[in-house]
Amino acid sequence: MNETVDQLLAGPPAGASEGELVDWISRLEEVKCIAEAVQAEAAVRLEEATRARQAEAGVPFRKLGEGVASQVALARRVSPAKGAKLLGLAKILVAEMPHTFALMKAGLFSQWQATILARETACLSMENRRVVDYRLCALDPDGELPAAVTMGLRQLENAAKKLAITLDQESVVARAANAEKDRRVSVRPAPDTMTWLGALLPVKDGVAVYAALDQAVKAAQAAGDERTTGQVMADTLVDRVTGRTTDGSAKPRVEVKIVMTADALTNDSDQPAMVEGYGPVPATWAREALADAEVFVRRLFTDPAGNLVAMESRSRKAPDGLTEFITTRDGGICRTNGCDAPIRNVDHAQRHADGGKTSAENLQGLCERCNQAKEALGWQARPGPDGSIITVTPTGHIYTSPPPDTWRPDPPPLSRAEFMLRGVLLDYPRAA
């Protein structure tokens, strides 16, 4: 196929044969690989230009390059954490893995394949990393493709690991020992009011947890339990972590952050509720969830439409009530486009030093990374009239973060006293 990129992107012609359609798909995959390589090259050049501009402006050496990863993330419509990884990968490919990068530019290697090689050689010296790069990805003088091109992802990962161990076993062992520091638990939304709960654990602990759940399955099946294997494992995990009992004699004590109207809470309305960190849920589901445990409901004042009513403060630092309000209003998720990290800071969109108010309109919930990025030289932000946040990067590109679902335009300002008197953030127990 000798079509131009524009012709390829226009799609195959009507009446194309099956073979031609396969060729079209294959050629488009090559274009994707090339585009990822060019994106990587552009990211490296962007960082170089940014560091030079910041150095000329007198930015301290340790802060040079701040904000670049966030610009990459915004341009590629991914989270800032992903943007940082993409920038790091780009720098490695350009400076340390020339053969892998050449395969990408030839359309033979994807960004994910390159990521696997970079990840598995991260503990090696630059010299040893280049050895792996050469052995797996260097083109044969006779034009024969390197083995890495035809390997599956698991094969590629294993080949890189084997070479890394052969070249520097001590570094690989040290890396494995250090990895235990990264153990963590995460949760993310899933469809139909479900969540994915994950844990990154040392292998011995992960295997032990799974084995314990497997034993629970066997015991349940022996007792005639009709639940599926997955259901027994999931229920056992929740029971053992929260202390809940199957017969209902003990229920976990939890704090639920939920935004819903009083009518929805008392079953007089079916207006959807908002669960912080998840999103909208049916009112019926929310009421059932609240009745299923010993719950302390954290109630935020809303208008009849379910929109949060705000307050403002004269101080630079948002008071606790307003901070809680912003965190819940933004759903517990960073407001930056493409970022889904949890909120760690409540920050002024327009800087306080530039006249920005400490108000709901001008405050936004941000993760640590995004909060630091917006402080870099040349970044600006301001609130929009509809509750959006407008961010302008040092290159002049404009990104608009849409208003959260619980935003109410032009809310009437309330004093701290009025805010508390009107029932905001009052904790009260609700009997199960």
Torsion of CA 5, 6, 10, 15, to 10 degrees: -70
Can you spell out the DSSP letters for 231-274?
A: HHHHHHHHHHHH---TTSS---EEEEEEE--HHHHTTS--PPEE
User: Environment class of residue 260 by beta-carbon count within 10 Å: exposed (0-12), middle (13-18) or buried (19+)?
Assistant: buried
Token code pair at residue 244? 């809940």
The domain ranges of the chain are 5-181, 187-250, 251-432
CA distance 401 to 396: 16
Cα–Cα–Cα angle for 71, 182, 164, rounded to 5 degrees: 85
Tell me the whole-structure pTM to 2 decimals.
0.74
Beta-carbon contacts of 415 under 8 Å, excluding residues fewer than 6 positions away, are 311
Which pLDDT tens digits describe the chain residue by residue (432 residues)? 567 888 888 889 999 999 999 999 999 999 999 999 999 999 999 999 999 999 999 999 999 999 999 999 999 999 999 999 999 999 999 999 999 999 999 999 999 999 999 999 999 999 999 999 999 999 887 778 898 998 999 899 999 999 999 999 999 888 888 888 899 998 888 888 888 999 999 877 888 898 899 999 999 999 999 999 999 999 999 888 888 776 656 665 556 567 777 677 777 777 777 777 677 778 787 777 766 655 554 545 555 555 555 555 555 677 777 787 888 888 788 989 888 788 888 989 988 888 888 888 889 999 989 988 888 999 999 998 888 899 999 999 999 988 876 554 434 444 444 444 344 333 333 333
Beta-strand relationship, 398-401 and 389-392? antiparallel
Determine the pLDDT at residue 356.
87
Determine the pLDDT at residue 306.
54
Distances in Å between the Cα of 311 and the Cα atoms of 293, 329, 344 are: 31, 12, 20
Determine the pLDDT at residue 390.
92
What element of type H or E holds 346? strand 345-348
Determine the pLDDT at residue 357.
87
Determine the pLDDT at residue 172.
86
Asked if residue 64 lies in contact with residue 51, where contact means CB atoms within 8 angstroms, the answer is yes
Residue for token pair 């004699």: 249
CA distance 376 to 395: 12
